[in-house]
Amino acid sequence: MNTIASPVRKRRLAQILVLICTCAIALVLAACDDGSSATASTPGKTITSSILQGSPITIGIDTSGGLDIAQQGVNFDILKDGHVVAHAFLLIKSDYDTYASSASSKDNYATSTVNGCDVITYDDGTTYEALITIPDANTYVHILDMESQDSLNEVLSALTFTAG
């Protein structure tokens, strides 16, 4: 069996990784914490992560709607009822800029502020993505949701991000 991946397979794997990162960012951008959406009584879970050249961030998720978060190295997955609905990837500024530049030509491109974070959302009809800018951090998030725009919005609404 040939264990060397063909250039086409490598390119497709790279595209899938980019897609996953993009969805992760969208979720994070929509879920940045401005202090108005989280309360001490909201059930939740947090993880802390950082990447080379990036500042550490704390990622929180409201678990009351059945969502959960699972850390995957420096990245993380969002689960609903035990099923992965989105993948999130931490990015440095240069990678974020590359994704943001290409996102402007995608379907349903939109910008918004969610939970204090600037969020860019877009899709290609099958993958729903978000790029998130976390205030006071030099780490960015790319979120890929394979379910639907509604699923991405639910994830973004449940996430919070804190620099530091």
Q: Residue 39 has what pLDDT?
A: 36
Q: Please check the confidence at residue 29 and state whether its pLDDT lies above 60.
A: no
DSSP string, 22-65: HHHHHHHHHT---SSS--TTS-EEEEEE--TTS--EEEEEE-TT
User: What is the value of pTM for the model shown?
Assistant: 0.71
Q: Interior CA angle at 21 toward 138 and 70, to 5°?
A: 90
Q: What is the three-class DSSP state of 9?
A: helix
Write out pLDDT tens, residues 65-102: 999 999 988 899 999 999 999 999 999 999 999 999 99
How much of the chain exceeds pLDDT 90, in percent?
52
Q: Please check the confidence at residue 154 and state whether its pLDDT lies above 50.
A: yes
CA–CA distance, 24 with 45 (Å, rounded to integer): 17
Nearest to 158 by CA among 63, 75, 83: 63
How much of the chain exceeds pLDDT 70, in percent?
72
Query: Could you report how far apart the first and last alpha carbons of the chain are, in Å?
Result: 47
For domain 7-163, which architecture applies?
Answer: 3-Layer(aba) Sandwich (3.40)
pLDDT band at 9 (very low <50, low <70, confident <90, very high): low
Q: Residue 23 has what pLDDT?
A: 45
CA–CA distance, 68 with 65 (Å, rounded to integer): 9
Averaged pLDDT score across all residues of the chain: 80
* CB-CB contact of 117 with 108 (8 Å): no
Listed by start position, the domains of the chain span 7-163
Q: Please check the confidence at residue 109 and state whether its pLDDT lies above 80.
A: yes
Nearest to 58 by CA among 50, 47, 68: 47
* CB-CB contact of 24 with 141 (8 Å): yes
The Cα-based distances of 72 to 18, 48, 89 in angstroms read 16, 11, 9
